[in-house]
Amino acid sequence: MKRWTGYILLISLCVCMTSCGKKETGSELLTETKEAVTPVEETVEPAVEKTVEGMAFHIYYGDEQAENIVQDTIYAEEVDEHTLMQELVAALEMDSSAGLKSVSFGMHNGDRVVIVDVNQAFADYVSRMGAAGEYIVIGSLTNTFLDCYQCDAMLLTVEGKVMETSHNVYEEYLEWYPYVESLYTVEKMELGEGDIQISCPQIMNFSDGALQGKWNRIFLGTEERVLDDWEGNGTYQVTFEVKTMTADMLSILMNGTADTGEVHSFQYTYNIDLNTGESIRLRDHVDVKKVAENLFAGTGFYVDGMDVSHFSERLKAIYGSPEALARSLEGYDYSEDGSAPYGYSYIEDGKVWLCMEVPHDLGDYVKIELDTPGEM
């Protein structure tokens, strides 16, 4: 039994224009700007595409690192300004009370203008954000409405009044914010049924079809072997998290539980160099000897859910010396030669995390964040 759900990363390139900078402050300028817009009498319909999945339209929101505005395609049975705002609020993970009061349209010097009036809850949410977060939210709002209504500029108000934060006063037209388009996606292929539930990652829409096919076969082959071996022997569940998706690298963390009378947890990972198509192992970008020395010394790392000094003492009891631990770290991560890894690692926000197996009474595994980023 297989079914698909989306899990999206967006990378690379894009279009772009800049948002207007403010020249003055105070609501007088906003009043002048609004008065310069000639209202449009006819009804303005959203520019959507009818597909078998529904009405397709774009929304914009911040990526997982909150560094870029990214574009996504949404499908709905009907699309209006409230649909747009609901999808936008959900994508930006804003308070559900944030919303829209009204939308109107006009012309100014030959440009199509959309006037978006948000509620106070929306403004309050934005006002609590830092400058970078505010940029993402306002840029996402601007691009979403400009795109859907094919307008050239947007005027933003809060219940008819000027929107002012500690970082900006929104009195003039906002134009397109820079954004990035989708380069590839990672989707979930659901495998198994009943006591066996596996979410298998599958790379989609990657420019290198051979690389995409290679890794999709690796992902699927790993999980299908489990299906063959495990069926009828208790419950088995696996999900995954995309930890890093860039044009150069994909890092995926697999989380699983197996119950055959006693529940055991486990983790494994895939780190892929998208330029070469090869697996990235810990030793490829980290000085494992130095890491082993730090783990024994109790410095240069953080252990999730465990005291560092206690962890170091347990590590010494298991490995005996930094050299023995370094040899183990050398064998971390998926190897295309078929050899079994001694452990796993992944990359998140530029930091390297180790997934180290420990006795069941300690939780089956521990996650360790290294202070020193990998050389990727």
User: For position 272, which CATH number holds?
Assistant: 3.30.565.40
Residues 212 and 236 reside in one and the same domain: yes
- The reply to whether 138 falls in a domain is yes
**208 or 289, higher pLDDT:** 289
- The reply to whether 177 falls in a domain is no
Domain boundary pick from 170, 195, 219: 170
- Specify the pLDDT at position 64: 67
- Specify the pLDDT at position 4: 39
Residues 24 and 125 reside in one and the same domain: yes
pLDDT digits (tens, 9 = 90+) for 252-261: 999 999 987 8
- Specify the pLDDT at position 33: 77
Residues 39 and 158 reside in one and the same domain: yes
Report how far residue 156's alpha carbon sits from residue 141's, in angstroms, rounded to the nearest whole number. Answer: 9
- Specify the pLDDT at position 232: 63
**43 or 66, higher pLDDT:** 43
- The reply to whether 345 falls in a domain is yes
State both tokens at 109: 């010097």
Q: Name the least confident of 132-136, 199-203, 348-352.
A: 348-352
Residues 116 and 236 reside in one and the same domain: no
Residues 50 and 152 reside in one and the same domain: yes
Report how far residue 192's alpha carbon sits from residue 223's, in angstroms, rounded to the nearest whole number. Answer: 10
Side chain identity, residue 143: N
- Specify the pLDDT at position 335: 92
Output the CA angle 223-227-229, nearest 5 degrees: 110
- The reply to whether 59 falls in a domain is yes
- Specify the pLDDT at position 23: 35
pLDDT surpasses 70 at 26: no
Residues 68 and 160 reside in one and the same domain: yes
Evaluate if pTM is beyond 0.85.
no
- Specify the pLDDT at position 41: 78
- Band of pLDDT at residue 175, cut at 50, 70 and 90: very high
- Band of pLDDT at residue 36, cut at 50, 70 and 90: confident
**53 or 236, higher pLDDT:** 236
Average pLDDT over residues 71-98: 90
Domain boundary pick from 228, 249, 279: 279
Residues 25 and 115 reside in one and the same domain: yes
State both tokens at 33: 């700007």
Domain boundary pick from 117, 147, 170: 170
Residues 30 and 166 reside in one and the same domain: yes
Q: Cβ contacts of residue 33 below 8 Å, gap of 6+?
A: 155, 171, 172, 173
pLDDT surpasses 70 at 45: yes
Closest to 116 measured CA to CA, from 78, 88, 60, 158 = 158
Q: Cβ contacts of residue 90 below 8 Å, gap of 6+?
A: none
Number of folded domains that form the chain: 3
Residues 33 and 166 reside in one and the same domain: yes
- The reply to whether 236 falls in a domain is yes
State both tokens at 232: 């009828």
- The reply to whether 320 falls in a domain is yes
Sign of CA dihedral 294, 297, 300, 305: positive
Report how far residue 126's alpha carbon sits from residue 89's, in angstroms, rounded to the nearest whole number. Answer: 12
What's the per-residue H, E or C state across the chain?
CCCEECCEECCCCCCCCCCCCCCCCCHHHHHHHHHCCEECCCCCCCCCEEECCEEEEEEEEECCCCCCEEEEEEEECCCCHHHHHHHHHHHCCCCCCCCEEEEEEEEECCEEEEEEEECHHHHHHHHCCCHHHHHHHHHHHHHHHHHHHCCCEEEEEECCEEEECCCCEECCCECCCCCECCCEEEEEEEECCCCEEEEEEEEECCCCHHHHHHHHHHHHHHHHHHHHHHCCCCEEEEEEEEEEECCCEEEEEEEEEEECCCEEEEEEEEEEECCCCCECCHHHHCCHHHHHHHHHHCCCEEECCCCHHHHHHHHHHHHCCHHHHHHHHHCCCCCCCCCCCCCEEEEECCEEEEEEECCHHHCCEEEEEECCCCCC
Average pLDDT over residues 174-180: 85
Q: Name the least confident of 25-39, 89-103, 340-354.
A: 25-39
pLDDT surpasses 80 at 109: yes
Q: What's the longest Cα–Cα distance across the chain?
A: 80
Mean pLDDT of the chain: 85
Residue 92 pairs with which residues in a beta bridge? none
- The reply to whether 176 falls in a domain is no
Residues 239 and 313 reside in one and the same domain: no
- Band of pLDDT at residue 245, cut at 50, 70 and 90: confident
State both tokens at 19: 């948002």
Dihedral pair phi/psi, residue 243, rounded to 5°: -95, -35
- The reply to whether 175 falls in a domain is no
Average pLDDT over residues 159-184: 86
Average pLDDT over residues 245-265: 88
Residues 314 and 242 reside in one and the same domain: no
For 100, left (φ over 0), alpha (ψ -120 to 50), or beta? beta
pLDDT digits (tens, 9 = 90+) for 299-357: 999 998 788 888 888 889 989 999 999 999 999 999 988 888 999 999 987 889 999 98
Q: How many CB atoms lie within 10 A of CB 202?
A: 17
Q: Are 186 and 201 in contact (CB under 8 A)?
A: yes
Burial 252-269 (b: 16+ CB within 10 A, else e): bbbbbebeeeeeeeebbb
Residues 30 and 159 reside in one and the same domain: yes
Range of the domain at 351: 281-376
Instruction: Give the chain's end-to-end CA distance (angstroms, integer).
Output: 38
- Specify the pLDDT at position 29: 75
Report how far residue 238's alpha carbon sits from residue 222's, in angstroms, rounded to the nearest whole number. Answer: 12
